[in-house]
Amino acid sequence: MNTSDLIAALAADAPAPAGPSLRRRFLIGLGAGALVSLALFLTTVGPRPDIADAAHTLRFDLKFVDTLAMLLPSALLCLRLSRPDAEAGALIGWLLAPAVLLLGAVAVELAVVPRELWLTRIVGTNWYHCLTLVPVLAVAPLGALIAALREGAPSRPMLTGALAGVAAAGISATIYATNCTDDSPLFVVTWYPLATAIVAVAGAWAGRRFLSW
């Protein structure tokens, strides 16, 4: 028996991996973390009182387009990088999508809003809530994703953890946006990325601590 035949025989005799696949674990973690965050949100602050009317405005809807555009590519890229031989590929470019969308909205806002109102729109009335609720609501999904990713073998654990943090922030920011009454793109472009950065840093630390091998 030559070497290739021996390898094939060993592979054929190898037992199937026990438990769900890494992808399934990742998706379960993503969904379970989102449900925990949603339950915490609904039992504490809840959505804004005028959400039915706000849902008919473009600026309100744009917040969700942007947070989901951040969530999807970061989650997919995080899952891909959980394999030791994986490359980011074209997915890395999709991480620019939320920035492009938001900067376009900011350009329109600056064009139609008087200059003397810019600072008021940037500061808004809920910046403190944004910087606290988004990270707090991201704890459960981030923890669930890190736990799932421990079944993988990422060659860049800090980057993988940071992307898990961005995905978790995408979940929490989507939930929080239903409560936030500051719909101006100037507010969103200032405070939502800062809140996301907090979670990304926490994810990078968790990746280094729990995903290294």
Q: Which tens digit of pLDDT belongs to each residue from 114-154? A: 999 999 999 999 899 999 999 999 999 999 999 999 988 88
How is residue 38 written in tokens?
């949603």
Residue 17 pLDDT: 46
Query: Which candidate, 35, 63, 7, places its Cα nearest to that of 189?
Result: 63
Place of tokens 């031989």: 85
- Using alpha carbons, list the distances in angstroms from residue 75 to 80, 149, 162, 212: 9, 11, 11, 19
What's the pLDDT band for 19 if we cut at 50, 70, 90? low
Closest Cα to residue 133, out of 35, 203, 37? 37
**Nearest by Cα to 201 from 170, 147, 158:** 158
Torsion of CA 37, 79, 148, 21, to 10 degrees: 120
Residue 26 has pLDDT above 80, yes or no: yes
Would you say how long the chain is, in residues? 213
Whether the per-residue pLDDT at 191 is higher than 70: the answer is: yes
Kindly tell me the sign of the dihedral angle through the C-alpha atoms of 51, 52, 54, 57.
Answer: positive
Which tens digits make up the pLDDT trace of 144-179?
999 999 988 888 999 999 999 999 999 999 999 999
Residue 95 has what pLDDT? 83
pLDDT of residue 52: 92
Sign of CA dihedral 125, 130, 131, 137: positive
Q: Are 26 and 82 in contact (CB under 8 A)?
A: yes
Q: Quote the CA–CA distance of 101 and 46 in Å, as a whole number.
A: 27
CA 31 to chain centre: 12
Helix/strand/coil percentages in the chain, nearest 5: 75, 0, 25
Answer whether residue 50 shows pLDDT above 90.
yes
Q: Please provide residue 178's backbone torsions phi and psi, each rounded to the nearest 5 degrees.
A: -70, -15
Poorest-confidence range of 66-75, 88-97, 109-118, 191-200? Answer: 88-97
Residue with the larger pLDDT of the pair 19 and 180: 180
